[in-house]
């Protein structure tokens, strides 16, 4: 039983060597958020490209479609319109198999490559676009989300460094994230009222782990790169939807 849980922790966890990259990315995004929402949008798009670059293939020709679609959808968030992002994303989803089919006549491989391209660009681009739009409307909630996810990944990564305590790593990550969320709400550093702590706590505690697990399951070949961004993939759209519901 313990062996199975340790295998899950290894599957779920963040390699501690990724902590430096994550810290640099977090600081860069926070600086961009303080500067300007449009600047933040460009920076978060570059971050999404960095983790998705190798996910869609091994050659430049294989990676180009995913990079182009990711950039298009992610940067559409700079226009601050959720409906526009949805329209662009839907068009990109339809275009993905058509673009993949160019020069690829093998039907089984076509499906696999189209799925690989979709996994490479869709979650990262929607995450980037959602964060960008929210930065225009409620930047403090974006900063809080970035900080909550960063603390989660930091606790998870530090827990993974010590083999004797690595089975506690997921607990360290979630506990740190919830502690930061609770503190920010109590000192009024976020727009979320104290009465909404538990709904947001449940959202964070469920969505971050599920996002990481789903990402690893659907992107096994490129999980190492996408895993650096995977904590955002599910919690971001839910967080953005909740903030819009509260402050619409």
The b-or-e profile of 153-177 (16+ CB within 10 A means b, else e) is bbbbbbbbeeeeebeebbebbbebb
DSSP code, position 187: T
pLDDT in tens, 133-167: 999 988 999 999 999 999 998 888 887 777 777 77
DSSP code, position 57: -
Is the pLDDT at 38 greater than 60, yes or no? yes
CA distance 243 to 240: 5
pLDDT for res 214: 85
In the chain, what percentage of residues exceed pLDDT 90?
39
CA distance 239 to 141: 9
Domain boundaries, given as residue ranges, for the chain = 1-34+138-248, 36-137
pLDDT for res 75: 92
pLDDT band of 230, cuts 50, 70, 90: confident
Confirm if 166 and 159 have CB atoms less than 8 A apart.
Answer: yes
Is the pLDDT at 16 greater than 60, yes or no? no
pLDDT for res 84: 92
pLDDT for res 170: 84
pLDDT for res 29: 94
Is the pLDDT at 122 greater than 80, yes or no? yes
Of 121-125, 175-179, 223-227, the least confident: 223-227
pLDDT for res 191: 84
pLDDT band of 104, cuts 50, 70, 90: low
CA distance 104 to 114: 10
How distant, in Å, are the alpha carbons of 20, 71, 101, 217 from that of 113? 32, 19, 9, 16
Of 17-21, 23-27, 94-98, 204-208, the least confident: 17-21
pLDDT in tens, 44-82: 999 888 888 777 666 777 778 888 999 999 999 999 888
pLDDT for res 182: 95
The DSSP secondary structure of 154-223, one letter per residue, reads: HHHHHHHH-GGGGGGHHHHHHHHHHHHHHHHHHTT-SS--GGGHHHHHHHHHHHHHHHHHHHHHH-GGGH
pLDDT for res 169: 80
Q: Token pair for residue 131? A: 């964060």
In whole angstroms, what separates CA 95 from the centre of its chain? 23
Give the global pTM: 0.88
């Amino acid at each position: 039983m313990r062996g199975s849980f340790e295998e899950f922790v290894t599957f779920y966890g963040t390699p501690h060597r990724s902590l430096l990259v994550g810290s640099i990315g977090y600081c860069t995004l926070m600086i961009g958020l303080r500067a300007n929402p449009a600047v933040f949008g460009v920076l978060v798009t570059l971050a999404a490209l960095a983790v998705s670059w190798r996910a869609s293939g091994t050659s430049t020709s294989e990676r180009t479609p995913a990079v182009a679609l990711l950039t298009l959808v992610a940067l559409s968030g700079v226009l601050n319109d959720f409906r526009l992002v949805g329209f662009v994303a839907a068009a990109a989803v339809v275009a993905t198999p058509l673009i993949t089919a160019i020069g690829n006549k093998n039907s089984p491989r076509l499906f696999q490559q189209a799925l690989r391209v979709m996994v490479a660009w869709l979650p990262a681009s929607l995450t980037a676009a959602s964060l960008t739009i929210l930065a225009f409307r409620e930047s403090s909630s974006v900063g809080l989300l970035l900080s909550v996810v960063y603390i989660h990944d930091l606790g998870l990564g530090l827990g993974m460094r010590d083999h004797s305590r690595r089975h506690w790593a997921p607990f360290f990550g979630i506990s740190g994230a919830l502690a930061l969320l609770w503190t920010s709400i109590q000192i009024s550093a976020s727009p979320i009222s104290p009465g909404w702590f538990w709904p947001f706590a449940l959202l964070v505690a469920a969505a971050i782990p599920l996002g990481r697990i789903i990402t690893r399951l659907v992107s096994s070949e490129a999980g190492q790169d996408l895993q650096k961004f995977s904590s955002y993939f599910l919690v971001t759209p839910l967080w953005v939807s909740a903030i819009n519901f509260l402050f619409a």
